[in-house]
Structure 1
Amino acid sequence: MSGYSTTFGKCITGDSIDVLNTLEDNSINLIVTSPPFSNQRKKKYANFDEVPQSEYVEWLLQFARSAYNKLAPDGSLVIDIRSAYEKGKAVESIYPYEFLIRMVKDLNYKFCQNVYWNNTSALPLPIQYVNIEKIRLKNSLNMNMWFTKADDGRCKANNKNVLVPYSSRMQSLIDKPENFIKGDQVTRPSGNVLTTKSWQKDNGGAIPSNLLSYPNSASNDSYLRYCKALNIKAHPARYPYKLIEFWVKFLTEEGDLVVDIFGGSNTTGKVAEDLCRRWMSIDISPEYVASSIFRFCDNLDQATDYYNRIVAGEEIDLK
C-alpha cells in the first residue's frame, strides 16, 4: 500500500476496515475521525460515491464494528458528525441520533459525552433555508460523539491536560477573593457554600466545557500552500488542528496509538506526531494520502517529489 511513514506513525492508502483487521486487538488508545458526511444526493468524494442518507447509518456502523475489538479496554472513539437536512424539506435528519443509539444498543459502545465543536468561521448554510428563505439559523455546530468500550465508562482521560485560561474575573477572584466574598463564606442561590479559602487555589486554568470553539479557516499552512503551488485540489473537509489537539491531549499520553480511519489531509497524524504519540492515518484515496504528506515537508521541491512518488504507488520513509 502506498503512503509514508514518520518517526511516530504512518499514513496508508487503503480500506479502513481491511487495515484495522491487520492490527492487534486492544491496541488502539484513541480513534478520532471525521467521516464523509451524509448528503441528500450522491456526491463524488475521493474514489467512491457518498452513501445516500437512508443508508448512511448502516454504512458508518460497519467501521465502528470493525474498530471495537481493536480499541484498548480504556480507549476512546471520537466521531465528528454534522447534521443534514432531508431532501427538499426544511427538516433536519435524525440520522446522528440513530447512529448514537445503534452504537450503544447494537455494538455495545458506552457513550461518554457529546462535545460540540463550534466552527466560528462556518458559512451560513444551508443556503436555501438560511440565506434565501431566511427561515433557519446558520448551523455552525458539529457533534463530536465520544465513546468507549469500558463498561463503566471510565476510559483514559484527564481534563487537567486541556485546561483553558481563567476569565479575567475568575483570575481576580483567585488573586483577591476577599474583594468578592464578604466574610469567611457566602451561600449561593443554589445552596452551595463558598469560602474565601476555596477560591485561593490556582489550578493553572479552568476546566473546559463541552462546547469547543475553533475556526476552520487555515489558509496558509504548509498543506494548503503546497496544494495551491502544485494545482492540487485540497481535501474539502479538513479538521482544525486545535480540535484534534484537544482530543489527543485529553484522551492519550505520549507513546499511545492514535488512529484516524478517514484520514483525509491527515491533521490527526500531524498533531499526533507533534505530541509524540504513535499514529496511523488511513484513507481510500491515493491522492489524498499523497497530498497529506505536505504537512511534513520542508520545501516545495520535496513536496513535489514525495507527492508524485506516492501517487505512483511508492511508500516514503521520512524517518
Structure 2
Amino acid sequence: MLKQLPDNSIDLVMTSPPFALQRQKAYGNKDQAEYLDWLMDFAKLVYAKLKPTGSMVMDVGGAYQKGTPSRSLYHLRLPIRFCDEIGFFLAEDFYWYNPAKLPSPIEWVNKRKIRAKDSVNNLWWFSKTEWPKADVSKVLVPYSDRMLKLMEDPSKFYKPGTRPSGHGISTGFAKDNGGAIPSNLLQISNTESNGTYVAGCKLVDTARHPARFPAKLPEFFIRFLTDPGDVVLDIFAGSNTTGQVAEAEGRRWLSFEERLDYVAASAFRFLPKETDPDRLRDAFLKIESGAPVDVTDYWTQTNLKFGEAAE
C-alpha cells in the first residue's frame, strides 16, 4: 500500500510497529534478529513518500535479551541505520513515560527482583530534511505553580543578569506566552478502559488490540508537526488511534493495517454512541469480510455529520 502512494505526498507518519519482543504476540511481532531488516523496508518507502517538510514519529519499546537480564540494543540501532543507510535525520528523541505500565519482565522484576520496572518507550522523530515543519507553540503545557508566581512578581525570585553558566536572564523571562514549552519526556498514562472502541469490541465479542497507545500520544505530534488539512499516515494502524485523533484535529489521514479484524473493530472509533447494536455488528462483519463501509451512513442515521464526534 505504501508503494501505491505518490512520492512527496505525506506530511506525517505517526506509527507504532510491532516491537521485537521475545514472546510472540497476536499482532505478529518479529524476532529481534530480523526485526531491523524488516523495518528498514518500510522506512525506505516512507522516506520516498514524505514531503521535504514531512516527519515520521515511531514509538518503539525496548526489550531484554532472551534468557538473560541484559537489554537488547535493537531499538538504539534503529535510528542509526535509518539515518546512515536511508538518509533520515533524527530531529529529536522523545521518551514516553507510562506510569500505569505493568511491571515487566516478570522474571527479572517481580520474581528475582533484580531489575526495575520498564516504563519508558523511545519515540524517534525522524525528518526527511534538516528543516521539517514543526511549531512547539501548538503543544504548550500549563505553567507550574512556581512559574505562575514568578510571572506575578519576577523580582521576588531572580535578578536580571548573566549566570555562572554564561546564560543571560532578563525580565522578559517571566512573560506569559500562554503556556510552557514541553519537554521531550511525555508522561501519559495508558489506562483507557471505556469509550466507543472498547464498548464496540465487547458488543461484537471480538478481542481488543493488545497494544493500543493512548490518544494523547499521537495528538501531541499531530498538533506539533502538522496543520489542519495535512495528511497523516499510520502504517501499523492496529486499532487506529492515530486516525481517530487526526480526524478530530481536522487532518486528512490514511491508516494501513493487515488484519481485517483490527480494521473492522477500529470502525467503532468513528461511529456514534447512539448507533443501534445491530448496525454496529453489521459494520464490523462487513469490514471483517473485506467489504467497504461508508461510516457517513451511520452518522446520517443520527442526524449528525461525520467528524462531529470530537465536538
Residue 9 of structure 1: aligned partner: none
Q: Which of 23, 26, 33 is equivalent to 2:5?
A: 23
Residue 184 of structure 2: aligned partner: 210
Q: Secondary structure at the match of 1:83?
A: coil
Unaligned runs of 5+ in 1: 1-18
What displacement does 1:192 show?
Answer: 2.6
Counterpart code for 2:92: Q
Matches within 5 A, 1:54-203: 54-150=33-129, 153-181=130-158, 185-195=160-170, 197-203=171-177
1:249-286 CA-partner distances (Å, limit 9, x unpaired):
00000000000000000000000000000000000000
Residue 280 of structure 1: aligned partner: 254
What displacement does 1:126 show?
Answer: 0.6
Q: Which of 290, 294, 299 is equivalent to 1:313?
A: 290
Residues 259, 279 of structure 1: 8 Å contact kept:
yes
Q: Is 2:26 aligned against 1:45?
A: yes
Residues 13, 234 of structure 2: 8 Å contact kept:
yes
Residue 303 of structure 1: aligned partner: 280
Q: Provide the aligned length of Structure 1 versus Structure 2.
A: 293
Residues 173, 199 of structure 1: 8 Å contact kept:
no
C-alpha distance in structure 2 between counterparts of 1:192 and 1:145, whole Å: 29
What displacement does 1:199 show?
Answer: 3.0
C-alpha distance in structure 2 between counterparts of 1:301 and 1:203, whole Å: 50
Superposition TM-score, scaled by structure 2 size: 0.91
What displacement does 1:186 show?
Answer: 4.3
Higher relative CO (Cα under 8 Å, sequence separation at least 6) belongs to 1
- Which sits farther off after the overlay, 124-133 or 299-308? 299-308
C-alpha distance in structure 2 between counterparts of 1:140 and 1:200, whole Å: 34
Q: Secondary structure at the match of 1:316?
A: coil
- Per residue, is there more strand in 1 or in 2? 1
C-alpha distance in structure 2 between counterparts of 1:103 and 1:274, whole Å: 31
Counterpart code for 1:106: E
Residue 6 of structure 1: aligned partner: none
Residues 271, 295 of structure 2: 8 Å contact kept:
no
Residue 222 of structure 1: aligned partner: 196
What displacement does 1:187 show?
Answer: 4.1
1:217-253 CA-partner distances (Å, limit 9, x unpaired):
1001110111122221000000100011000000000
Counterpart code for 1:316: V
Counterpart code for 2:4: T
Q: Secondary structure at the match of 1:76?
A: strand
Superposition TM-score, scaled by structure 1 size: 0.89
Unaligned runs of 5+ in 2: 297-311
Q: Secondary structure at the match of 1:122?
A: coil
C-alpha distance in structure 2 between counterparts of 1:24 and 1:198, whole Å: 46
Residue 232 of structure 1: aligned partner: 206
What displacement does 1:77 show?
Answer: 0.5
What displacement does 1:174 show?
Answer: 1.1
What displacement does 1:44 show?
Answer: 4.5
Residue 215 of structure 2: aligned partner: 241
C-alpha distance in structure 1 between counterparts of 2:282 and 2:3, whole Å: 31
Counterpart code for 1:276: G
What displacement does 1:67 show?
Answer: 1.1
- Per residue, is there more helix in 1 or in 2? 2
Residue 305 of structure 2: aligned partner: none
Matches within 5 A, 1:255-270: 255-270=229-244
Q: Secondary structure at the match of 1:72?
A: strand
What displacement does 1:154 show?
Answer: 1.1
1:150-179 CA-partner distances (Å, limit 9, x unpaired):
1xx110000000000010110111121122
1:115-161 CA-partner distances (Å, limit 9, x unpaired):
000011100111110111111110110001010111xx110000000
Counterpart code for 2:185: L
